[in-house]
């Protein structure tokens, strides 16, 4: 018998591809380079005579070569990265690349891509491709896409659903946008409280896989009423002979399908949740919300707030000019009117400015600092409204706090501004006027920064929509009025 040790069989180790946002950026640059080469080929081909068969053949060969390069590049990426690249391309190039994406990624990409880009992708797909892509989706995913899909596609996909899935789809479609019901997931694991943990473990082993982001199992009775939750960690470390009722937790957070998705996101953030059950008014378990949907809600709300403050709605960055004008023009016209009013206020003090020319250089500082101070306050208030920290009981306390903080900051900042005004004007009187005007306008900015979002929220409007435009109107107009008015009273 040989003493030579038996060598283990060689194992092939597959290293998973690393997910890295920089990969998508690099792929986008390479893709844009290929598309530019394609444009050059098309431009050269159009310069040839139509009867030139060799030129046409060469163009076809190059186009096929470019298509192969794009396919090998794009189909090696994660669906989220493919969605990012499609969003970064003009509509014509977006459709060209979309045709080269492998069909097995269609469903995931449609779910990942932004709404404005999804619409153009769906328009470019034929009926059968849409049915094939959506036919593999879960009911909650399908319900998310239904508003963008042609009715004929929805009708055909519904034929392939079971009765239970069709009922879930109709239920999910019935919830308003921005509610928990619109983002809840129907895939979850539920067990009864009168079985042992060993039975639960055997049941889990029979499943092909657990639903994504499963950190807990929901315990229900025979009427599907939620009785408690069983954390997977508890299941793994507990005695298998124990019953579920002995180790389950009855202290849990549940959501109602009509709750705001923003409120649900706040609850996830506050309690560090991975998933949460959704129950109806009779405490029957109808779905769950996971951290994946919550992250999407938080990101979408953040983007909407950033756009709303400038008076914009979400749009395709490569949208046609007319569409972009409809989105941007309304609040720009409002801004034009408010700026005209501010200019009119300044023109009423033409005599003062003509006598003391240096005031023309200082007045923009007063208006600008007031606007920046108001923007700081407004950002804090909008954020507090979003997470529900502002109500009628603490409103006046918030106003007093912001005014007091602004006064302290204004006192320090106005000393610096007064020193600068004294330096360029060589006048203590102008310095004192500058100091008083700056403090006054900063207090106005803070007050307006609190009131604008609160009033808009009270009347049911987006607190952030056009808030910066309105704030600029008040701080510019009143800033000019205070500064030039004080100069007229004390310097002439």
Instruction: Set out the domains of the chain in order of their start, with CATH numbers.
Output: 21-176 (1.25.60.10), 190-309 (3.10.580.10), 321-491 (1.10.357.20)
Q: Is the CB of residue 285 less than 8 Å from the CB of residue 190?
A: yes
- Low-confidence residues of the chain: pLDDT under 70: 1-22, 40-63, 307-321, 324, 387, 392
Rounded Cα distance between 455 and 466, Å, is 13
Query: Strands 216-220 and 190-191, how do they pair?
Result: parallel
The rounded distance, in Å, linking the Cα atoms of 376 and 261 is: 26
Contact between residue 362 and residue 353 where contact means Cβ atoms under 8 Å apart: no
The 3-state DSSP class for residue 38 equals helix
pTM of the complete model: 0.69
What is residue 313's predicted lDDT score, i.e. its pLDDT?
Answer: 65
User: Is 211 exposed, middle or buried, given 0-12, 13-18 or 19+ CB atoms closer than 10 A?
Assistant: middle
| pLDDT of 387 | 67
Q: What pLDDT score was predicted for residue 312?
A: 65
Q: What pLDDT does 5 receive?
A: 40
What are 445-457's pLDDT values in tens digits?
999 998 888 888 8
**Helical axes 91-100 vs 115-123, angle rounded to 10°:** 70
Residues 290 and 213 sit within 8 Å (Cβ to Cβ): yes
123-133 tens-digit pLDDT:
889 889 999 99
Residues 6 or more apart whose CB falls under 8 angstroms from that of 150 comprise 122, 127, 130
Number of other CB atoms surrounding residue 62 within 10 Å: 17
E strands in 238-359:
275-279, 285-290
Q: Which residues contact 66 (CB under 8 A, 6 or more apart)?
A: 34, 35, 37, 38, 41
- The tokens of 3 are what? 């003493």
Contact call for residues 130 and 149 (beta carbons, < 8 A): yes
* Rg from Cα positions in the chain: 31
């Amino acid at each position: 018998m040989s003493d030579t040790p038996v060598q283990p069989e060689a194992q092939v180790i597959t290293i998973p591809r690393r997910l890295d946002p920089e990969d998508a950026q690099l792929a986008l640059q390479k893709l844009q380079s290929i598309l530019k080469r394609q444009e050059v080929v098309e431009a050269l081909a159009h310069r040839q005579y139509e009867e030139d068969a060799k030129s046409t053949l060469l163009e076809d060969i190059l186009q096929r070569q470019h298509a192969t390069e794009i396919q090998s590049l794009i189909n090696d990426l994660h669906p989220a990265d493919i969605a990012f690249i499609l969003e970064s391309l003009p509509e014509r190039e977006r459709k060209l690349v979309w045709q080269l994406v492998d069909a097995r990624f269609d469903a995931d990409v449609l779910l990942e891509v932004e709404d404005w880009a999804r619409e153009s992708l769906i328009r470019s797909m034929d009926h059968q491709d849409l049915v094939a892509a959506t036919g593999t989706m879960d009911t909650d995913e399908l319900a998310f896409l239904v508003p963008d899909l042609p009715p004929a596609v929805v009708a055909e996909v519904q034929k392939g659903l079971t009765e239970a899935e069709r009922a879930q789809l109709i239920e999910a479609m019935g919830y308003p946008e921005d509610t928990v019901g619109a983002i809840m997931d129907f895939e979850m694991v539920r067990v009864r409280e009168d079985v042992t943990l060993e039975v639960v473990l055997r049941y889990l082993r029979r499943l092909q896989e657990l639903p994504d982001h499963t950190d807990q199992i929901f315990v229900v009775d025979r009427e599907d009423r939620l009785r408690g939750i069983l954390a997977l960690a508890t299941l793994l470390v507990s005695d298998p002979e124990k019953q579920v009722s002995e180790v389950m937790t009855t202290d849990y957070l549940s959501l109602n399908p009509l709750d705001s998705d923003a409120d649900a996101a706040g609850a996830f953030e506050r309690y560090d949740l991975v998933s949460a059950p959704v129950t109806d008014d009779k405490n029957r378990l109808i779905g769950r919300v996971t951290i994946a949907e919550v992250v999407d809600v938080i990101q979408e709300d953040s983007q909407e707030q950033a756009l709303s403050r400038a008076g914009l709605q979400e749009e395709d960055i490569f949208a046609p000019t007319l569409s972009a004008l409809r989105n941007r023009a309304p609040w720009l016209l409002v801004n034009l009117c408010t700026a005209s009013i501010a200019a009119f206020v300044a023109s009423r003090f033409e005599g003062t400015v003509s006598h003391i020319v240096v005031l023309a250089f200082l007045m923009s500082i007063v208006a600008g600092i007031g606007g920046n101070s108001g923007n700081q306050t407004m950002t804090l208030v909008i954020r507090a409204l979003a997470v529900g920290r502002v109500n009628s009981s603490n409103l006046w306390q918030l106003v007093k706090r912001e005014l007091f903080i602004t006064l302290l900051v204004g006192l320090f900042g106005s000393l610096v501004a007064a020193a600068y005004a004294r330096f360029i004007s060589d006048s203590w009187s102008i310095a004192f006027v500058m100091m008083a005007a700056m403090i006054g306008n900063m207090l106005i900015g803070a007050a307006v920064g609190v009131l604008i979002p609160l009033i808009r929220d009270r009347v049911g409007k987006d607190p952030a929509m056009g808030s910066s435009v309105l704030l600029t109107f008040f701080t510019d107009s009143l800033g000019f009025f205070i500064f030039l008015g004080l100069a007229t009273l004390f310097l002439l």
